[in-house]
Amino acid sequence: MGAPRAVALCQSFNGALEFQVGRWSEAEEALHESIHLFRQIGAADGEALSCQRLGILQSAQGQLDKALSTLEDGVVAAKHAKLRVHIQGRLHAAIAQNRLLAGDLAAAAHALSLGQALTESHGQCPLCESLLLPVAVSLRIAEGDLAAAEAYCKQLNEATTRYGSHTWLALAAQAQGELAAAQGDIEAAKTFYKEAQIGFNEAKNEYAADQCARALAQLQP
């Protein structure tokens, strides 16, 4: 019907889906339109979530400073959102991933701790956990704390039991692959990454499947 809120919602979801299948220009265009429309109508929840999605996209493209600015805009918007705790948790998870990609482990750890504190305050949430737990594994590996990384992998496996989707199975396998590689168990890492790649393909997430393919390539002699 052309209603701004409906268009903004559609463009936000469209942007997320286009990102997953590798149509990044289309995804970015959709998400920018979504953010613009949500701001026009004063819908802070939608604006913050669209900023999160755009920030993740920009981080994946290597535009780390631009992505951080987008995510910080999302944090500001989320302070006025009805679901502010949930949305802020997801934004801090995305910031942690962004700072990890930038090599700033201290900033990544700070963002992760903020996200974890927020999610603990409102209980288990599958969307929040799906963002926080994988980056927690990656961060602890980067810090050299493999025991902590293993503990987070266990939490991921427990979450997989609760939620049981292709995406959750793939997320857990991907994290196990990363940990196995860090532990020097290359054959186990290959097995986990292949399992994750299959799961992401079944979930129609081509971007994540490609990440697994790249990780496998790096493990080849």
Domain ranges of the chain: 1-123, 124-221
Instruction: Tell me the pLDDT tens digit for each residue of 6-58.
Output: 999 999 999 999 999 999 999 999 999 999 999 999 999 999 999 999 999 99
Q: 1-123: what fold?
A: 1.25.40
Residue 1's pLDDT is what? 47
- Mean pLDDT for 150-157 is 93
Q: What is the CA radius of gyration of the chain?
A: 17
Residue pLDDT, tens place only, 83-117: 877 888 899 999 999 999 999 999 999 999 999 88
1-123 with 124-221: one CATH topology? yes
The answer to pTM > 0.75 is yes
Res 61: pLDDT: 94
C-beta of residue 21 within 8 angstroms of C-beta of residue 204: yes
**Range in 35-44, 69-78, 155-164, 178-187 with the lowest mean pLDDT:** 155-164
Domain 124-221, CATH: 1.25.40
pLDDT score for 220:
75
| Distance, CA of 216 to CA of 192 (rounded, Å) | 10
Mean pLDDT over 79-86 rounds to 83
Q: Average pLDDT of the chain? A: 92
